[in-house]
Amino acid sequence: MSQVLQRTSATGTRATRVIGATSILVMAWVVVSGLLLTPQDVVQGESVRIMYVHVPSAWIAYLAFIFTAVASASWLISKKHSMGFDRFAGASAEVGVMFMAITLVTGSLWGRLTWGEFWQWDPRLTTTAFLFVTYIGYLAVRRLEGSVEQRARRSAVVAMLAVLEIPLVHFSVVLWRSLHQGATVLNPNGDVKMDDLMLFTLFSGVVGFTLVFIWLVLHRQRTMLLVDLANNQGLDSAIVARRAEGSAN
C-alpha cells in the first residue's frame, strides 16, 4: 500500500500527507459546523454561513499574493538567484488566483443575499477584482516561452510592478467612489454579532484553508521542478539523438 502511494504521489512526503489528512479533517468540521451547528445571524439570517468559506479564502488569497511578492523580491535581491524562490512565487500565485476566484464567487453570492446585488463598485471589491486580473496576467507571463531564468526574471519584475500598481488602483478607486457617492455598502462582517461557536468555526476555517494552502503550494512547486527537469531532459535527449544521427552519417 505504501509503495502504491509512493508511486501515485510523486511530490508527496510524510509531511504533506500529514498536512493533507489534517486539512481534510479540519475542512470537514468547518463544513459541518458552518452549515449545521452554528446559529443563524440576527440580521443576516442563514446567509451568514457563507462567511465561513468566504472570509478564509479571501485571507489566503491575499496571503498568497504577499508571499509571491516577497519571494519575487528575494529572487531579485539574492545574489544566487535561487530558482526555489521563483517556483515558490509561481506556486503561491497559482493557488492565490484560485482562492481569489473562490472569494469573488462566494462574495457575490453573499452580496446578492445581503445587499440584493451581486456586485458593488466599492473600493475593496474593485481592488480585489483588479488584483485577480493582475495575477492572471502574472501567470500568463510565467507561461511565456524562454529559459527558466528568463521566466524567473520576467515574472519577478511583473510581481514587483503589481506591488506598485495595486495601491495606485486602490487609491484611484477610493477617490472615484468618494466623488461619485453610490449606494452605501454595508460591511457584512461588521454587522455580525458572533457567538463563541461562530468565532471558533471561522477560526477553524482560517486554519483549515491555511493548511490546504500549504499542501497545495508544496505540491505545486515540486511539480514545477519536475516539469522543468523533464523539459530539460527532453532537450538533452533530443541533442544526444541529433548528435548520434550526425556521427552515424
Question: Which CB, 230 or 247, lies closer to another protein?
Answer: 230
Residue with cell 482562492: 99
Question: Which CB, 176 or 187, lies closer to another protein?
Answer: 176
Question: Which CB, 60 or 246, lies closer to another protein?
Answer: 60
If phi over 0 gives left and psi between -120 and 50 gives alpha, with beta otherwise, what is residue 128? alpha
With beta carbons less than 8 A apart as the criterion, state whether 215 and 19 touch: yes
CB contact set of 113 (below 8 Å; sequence gap of 6+) = 44, 47, 50
Question: Which CB, 102 or 202, lies closer to another protein?
Answer: 102
Cα–Cα dist 86/150, whole Å: 11
Degrees, nearest 5: CA angle 234-226-13: 150
CB of 199 to another protein, least distance (A): 19
What would the grid cell of residue 38 be? 452554528
CB of 46 to another protein, least distance (A): 5
CB of 23 to another protein, least distance (A): 9
CB of 145 to another protein, least distance (A): 6
Cα–Cα dist 31/73, whole Å: 37
Interface residues with another protein (CB under 8 A) are 8-11, 13, 27, 31, 34-35, 45-47, 49-50, 53-54, 57, 95, 98, 101-102, 105-106, 109-110, 112-113, 130, 133-134, 136-137, 140-141, 144-147, 149-150, 153-154, 157-158, 160-161, 164-165, 168-169, 171-173, 175-176, 179, 212, 215-216, 219-220, 222-223, 225-227, 229-230, 233-234
CB of 248 to another protein, least distance (A): 25
Cα–Cα dist 233/225, whole Å: 12
